[in-house]
Structure 1
Amino acid sequence: MESRQLEAFAAVISTGSITAAAQLLARSQPAVTRLVQELEAEIGYALFSRNGPRITPTEQGFLLYDDVERALGSLRKIRERAAEIARGDARPLLMAAISSLAVGLLPQALRQVENRLGPMPIQLRTALPEQVAHAVLSGAVQLGACSLPLAHNGLQVHWIGELACVAALPAGDPLLAHDVVPLAALAQRRIISMNSTSHLRHRVDSVLAQAGQTVGPGRTLIETNASVNAQALVRAGLGVAVLEPLTALGTPLDGVVVRPIDVHIPFFFGVITPQSRPLSAAVQAVIEALLQAAAVLPGFVQHDAADHAALLQTVYGDETSATKVSRKASR
């Protein structure tokens, strides 16, 4: 396969037609058609179904597209980096983070770093926790900000933080009469929850079960994969939510009020880098700035990286193990 063929295939998918793809690539329509046909001959199956002037991706075409886009994205990065090296530009600071940390901590930390070191090229992407860890392990990024679990051969955990989850309520909700919202009252409402694969969802469900609480009769769940989505659903009056506090702090929404809960549901997070690589001054500065930004948040607790296994036990094991973890206040 040639990159020209892959670029033509991706352009036809993204634009929806040979004509638009040709304009995007600054090529003739026959040239784009020929490149796609050569790719189909190379792989042995049709990527598009053709009905007169209309062209529609086949199922195999859709399946291949995701991998082609990733490959082309990597190639674009190589080209950009080669040009940066030729110009003598500084290496970009490459980071990956879960969305809550990307909106709740990283902006303040990066502002602090640039105030100290000056403006620098930065690339930040958001991803699921497992994808953040993989990006650090593979060397695709220099630093990851992620929720637990963090420990893995090849990763260095620099610090672990803990914040208590909060209740997100629509403005005017009767539960706002409480300075601290009872978990039992939340359980009787329609709950907007993270999806079943989320670590936070596991903790919320576990605490509800330990407290003998179940979702009230006839109250269906709404599931989503992002706290910011949950906040929007709360604002629309579709239910209440139990969330990590960073999204609410980083992207507060009018019409959504946050309150503490009477049961402690911990949200653990931390910073990871590749174990075998020396840290640049910029990466070290971000690690320190993230901790400083977290330390000023209400109720923040810092844990040693060595406490990782014990902290996981508090989340997935018995509740009494929480007393076995030695914790130190961030101050």
Structure 2
Amino acid sequence: MELRQLEAFAAVITTGSVTAAGRLLERSQPAITRLIQELETEVGYPLFARNGPRVTPTEQGILLYEDVEPMLAGLHQIRKRAGEIGRGQSRPLRIVATSALAAGLVPAALAHTRLAAATQTIQLRSVPPEQVVHAVLSGAADIGVASLPLEHRGVVVHWIGQSACVAALRADDPLARHDRLPLSACDGRRIVTMQNPYRLRRRLDHALALAEVTPAGLIETNSSMNALTLVRAGLGISVLEPVTAYGLPLSDVAIRPIDADIPYFFGVISRDAVALPPVAATLIDALADAARAMLPDFALRASAEHAQVLQSLYGDLPAAKESLP
């Protein structure tokens, strides 16, 4: 299995055709076809289904691409870094964060400290929460910013932040008149909620059930930003984490505290026993400062409280009269 075969395979997946892949890699169409055929012989199964000039990835091809793409991206970074070293440039500041924190918090921290102006290259990548720890452990990122859980052998938790979940509703919704929205007022309304049942969704469902809310319907999404845009379109009311709600305010969307205690916990990690560059250490403090400025009820928790916080999140919840579907 050769690198040029994998590059041809990824190019065809990305561009959708052998001809476009050839242009991208500056190779002839027959050369790309030959490399794909060699790779298929190597792995022992077809990577594309062919229908005349069109090619469609097989299920096995899609699965292989999930591993090939990050490997090629890493190789690209190595090539880029080699050139930077040759030009005497410092290493980029590499940050990985969940989508909510990458969009709602990290830019504010970078702007607050003017790190973007002082650092020649900054790499900010958003990934699912479960992949933040992996990126830090593997050395793909200097700093990780994610919701809990964060603790893992090999990482250092620098701090844990706490802030209450809030409600998002259209500004012209009659319920927007409340300074603090009673969850019970959401009864009979469509609810826009998070999709992952193992993180915030479980506790959102529980709080709504305790308030005896029977939704008229549900819209599930994996992104708080999606939830806000759905609310703006008049498709429902959402209860969501506060970083996106306050960090990325949308016109025509009102953000209100709620009468239920649903804390959102997030924090910053780095790899253990690895010295951070000064710019990364500065950013860790800047992230806490930005969260404090953005979130009205922000509380900084010590990293030693991680286990206690996890127990409060994933321990047994009090019985509710019913739960959402």
- TM-score, normalised via structure 2 length: 0.92
CA drift at 1:124? 0.6
Contact 2:110/2:116 (<8 A) preserved: no
Contact 1:113/1:282 (<8 A) preserved: no
Measured in 2, the distance between the counterparts of 1:119 and 1:141 equals: 16
CA drift at 1:221? 1.1
**Using a 3 Å threshold, how does the CA distance of structure 1 residues 34 and 279 change in structure 2: closer, same or farther?**
same
SS of aligned partner of 1:149: coil
Any stretches of 5+ residues in structure 2 without a counterpart?
A: 319-325
**Using a 3 Å threshold, how does the CA distance of structure 1 residues 51 and 269 change in structure 2: closer, same or farther?**
closer
Give 1:86-165 correspondences, 5 Å limit. Answer: 86-114=86-114, 118-165=118-165
Measured in 2, the distance between the counterparts of 1:92 and 1:187 equals: 49
**Aligned residue for 2:245?**
248
CA drift at 1:311? 1.3
Partner of residue 312 from structure 1, selected from 307, 310, 321: 310
CA drift at 1:206? 2.4
Overall identity of the aligned pairs, in %: 57
Measured in 1, the distance between the counterparts of 2:111 and 2:233 equals: 33
CA drift at 1:28? 1.3
**Using a 3 Å threshold, how does the CA distance of structure 1 residues 33 and 116 change in structure 2: closer, same or farther?**
closer
**Aligned residue for 1:329?**
none
**Using a 3 Å threshold, how does the CA distance of structure 1 residues 117 and 279 change in structure 2: closer, same or farther?**
farther
CA drift at 1:80? 1.0
Aligned residues: 317
**Aligned residue for 2:77?**
77
CA drift at 1:108? 1.7
**Aligned residue for 1:270?**
267
CA drift at 1:312? 1.6
**Using a 3 Å threshold, how does the CA distance of structure 1 residues 293 and 197 change in structure 2: closer, same or farther?**
same
Give 1:164-183 correspondences, 5 Å limit. Answer: 164-183=164-183
Measured in 2, the distance between the counterparts of 1:194 and 1:21 equals: 37
**Aligned residue for 1:50?**
50
Partner of residue 258 from structure 1, selected from 255, 258, 283: 255
CA drift at 1:319? 6.7
**Aligned residue for 1:213?**
212
User: Over the residues paired in the alignment, what is the CA RMSD in angstroms?
Assistant: 1.8
**Aligned residue for 1:59?**
59
**Aligned residue for 2:323?**
none
SS of aligned partner of 2:280: helix
Greater mean deviation of Cα atoms: 49-58 or 69-78:
49-58
Any stretches of 5+ residues in structure 1 without a counterpart?
A: 321-331
Contact 1:114/1:120 (<8 A) preserved: no
- 1:202-242 deviation per Cα after TM superposition (whole angstroms, max 9, x unaligned): 22122234x352424xx121100000000011111111000
**Aligned residue for 2:300?**
302
Measured in 2, the distance between the counterparts of 1:74 and 1:196 equals: 28
Contact 1:190/1:215 (<8 A) preserved: no
Contact 2:189/2:217 (<8 A) preserved: no
SS of aligned partner of 1:221: strand
Greater mean deviation of Cα atoms: 275-284 or 41-50:
41-50
Measured in 1, the distance between the counterparts of 2:49 and 2:313 equals: 50
Contact 1:157/1:270 (<8 A) preserved: yes
Which amino acid in the other structure matches residue 28 of structure 1? S
- After TM superposition, where is structure 1 displaced by more than 4 Å over at least 4 residues in a row? none
- TM-score, normalised via structure 1 length: 0.91
- 1:91-120 deviation per Cα after TM superposition (whole angstroms, max 9, x unaligned): 001111112211222112112333598233
**Aligned residue for 2:25?**
25
Measured in 2, the distance between the counterparts of 1:269 and 1:115 equals: 22
SS of aligned partner of 2:256: strand
Contact 1:168/1:242 (<8 A) preserved: yes
**Aligned residue for 1:3?**
3
Greater mean deviation of Cα atoms: 199-208 or 51-60:
51-60
